[in-house]
Amino acid sequence: MAHLYPVLLCGGSGTRLWPLSRKSFPKQFVKLGDGETLFQAAARRLSGPEVRPPVIVTNADFRFIVTEQLAEAGIPAGAVLIEPSPRNTGPAILAAVEYLAARDPQALLLVMPSDQVMPDGAAFSAAVQAGLPAARNGRIVTFGIRPTRPETGYGWLELGRPPEGEAPAAVPLSRFVEKPDAARAAAMLADGHYLWNAGIFLFSVETARKAFAAHAPQMLAPVRQAVEEAVVDLDFLRLAPAPWQQAQDISIDYAIMERSANLDVVPFAGDWSDLGDWASVMREGAADGRNVVAHGPVTAIDCDDSLLRSEAEGLELVGIGLKDMLVVAMPDAVLVADRSRSQEVKQAVTALKARGARQAEHFPRDHRPWGWFETLALGERFQVKRIVVHPGAALSLQSHYHRSEHWVVVSGTARITIDGEPRLLTENQSVYIPLGAVHRMENPGKVPMVLIEVQTGTYLGEDDIIRYEDVYARGQGAKG
């Protein structure tokens, strides 16, 4: 029996869900509801005796977020491949193919984005099972969503022939259709021979290699070399940067799918959303009698057909007389938009980047392998942070050129080392870290340790860190 490997792609930035999703912490890692993150849900979406642990393709900034969220969900990782730079889905998928080719040449790959909603896991598993025979026979299988509206934000798929019966089955795919205008989308919806493109693919290692050799041969050598020369770093596999940079920056659709003749599609009738904008998030939410979807500390007075979300602890969001509005409040940014213009949020991100606004790309809570921190106050020559350190975790042994620090333990226990002298601090105890002192903070306890840090100095940037030792092998720089 050929083994089936889910391959999860999770390097995107998700700018259309700004301000909740940002480049430093995109939507696949955010809890949009009260349960799992989209990434965690994708990682556990498929199970069975032939299913192997997922192969993850991501970038260096997200590597510890990936492993932390997998561990939180109790899901083992088959491998975590680190892209040296973003090169789009074509090289990312080929890297997973080449990785598995060296370890399981008969493998089947189910390639999925990590930021989609599919609440009916059993229905999706049935669709995958329906596509397996075609994939074993050398076909490239994609999955199409039965459309429920004339959507202009998705690409579409044209069926070669209508499916027979209600049970999921692979049928020939005629062609891919780019995101249409409203009139074209309405015509395709009425026609009945079109599906939304979910961007999910199923194929064998052998089929994929043949497809790349036929349609994107220039990509094979650099990606293969990047995988062959990859370096093991803790629990990750870092692809070699020099050959990787030679790979064409191209999507899998343009590189392979739109040029291949051996394409099948399995129609999927279950609930699905790519959560590509705030309007789609609203459609997935629980609405009240006036179609208001609220999340967090929200008060809606005389509002209709609106999304109201407060994502900040202790921040009350009040809407009065709103209609067809999207309002998302974060500690450092607020989005207010007409619901019909949700696709334009990425234009706001572009404008903020042009102004140099930190909020364009950086999340207020900065995640690290040892935990996270957030800035509570920032002024000239001072900064106040809340720092949370996971049980058993440790920050790097480090020093700073430009700042000194005061640490106050709020809860838990901290093991502090300053210039080689260790000490234990418990709740309400504090310590001073002089400028230039070599220091480290650890959590030796069984519960998270919370600490308030007050920085003073001429420069307070995260890149003012000189690392001497680090259990996470991050090197120098703000994140390493």
Please give the tally of structural domains in the chain: 3
Q: In 23-62, where does DSSP find H-type helix?
A: 38-43
Same domain for 184 and 262, yes or no, is yes
Same domain for 376 and 345, yes or no, is no
Q: Confidence class of residue 306 from pLDDT cuts 50, 70 and 90?
A: very high
pTM comes to 0.87
Q: Confidence class of residue 478 from pLDDT cuts 50, 70 and 90?
A: low
CATH number at residue 151: 3.90.550.10
* Predicted confidence (pLDDT) per residue in 393-452, tens digit: 999 999 999 999 999 999 999 999 999 999 999 999 999 999 999 999 999 999 999 999
Last residue of a domain, one of 355, 385, 415: 355
| Alpha carbon 183 to chain centroid, angstroms | 32
- Judged against a pLDDT cut of 70, whether residue 479 lies above it is answered with no
Give exposure, 177-204, as e/b (b: 16+ Cβ within 10 Å). Answer: beebeeebbeebbeeeebbbbbbbbbbb
Taking the CA atoms of 85, 90, 93 and 99 in sequence, report the sign of the dihedral they define.
negative
- Which residue segment(s) compose the domain that 342 sits in? 287-355
Mean pLDDT over 179-203 rounds to 93
* Predicted confidence (pLDDT) per residue in 228-286, tens digit: 999 998 889 999 999 999 999 999 999 999 999 999 999 998 889 888 899 999 998 99
Q: Would you say residue 477 lies in a domain?
A: no
* Predicted confidence (pLDDT) per residue in 309-335, tens digit: 999 888 999 999 999 999 999 999 999
∠ CA 172-176-178 to the nearest 5 degrees?
A: 160
- Judged against a pLDDT cut of 90, whether residue 476 lies above it is answered with no
- Judged against a pLDDT cut of 60, whether residue 119 lies above it is answered with yes
Q: Would you say residue 478 lies in a domain?
A: no
Same domain for 34 and 56, yes or no, is yes
**Of the candidates 389, 369, 394, which has an alpha carbon nearest to the alpha carbon of residue 66?**
369
Same domain for 125 and 215, yes or no, is yes
Mean pLDDT of the chain: 93
Tell me the percentage of the chain whose pLDDT exceeds 90.
Answer: 80
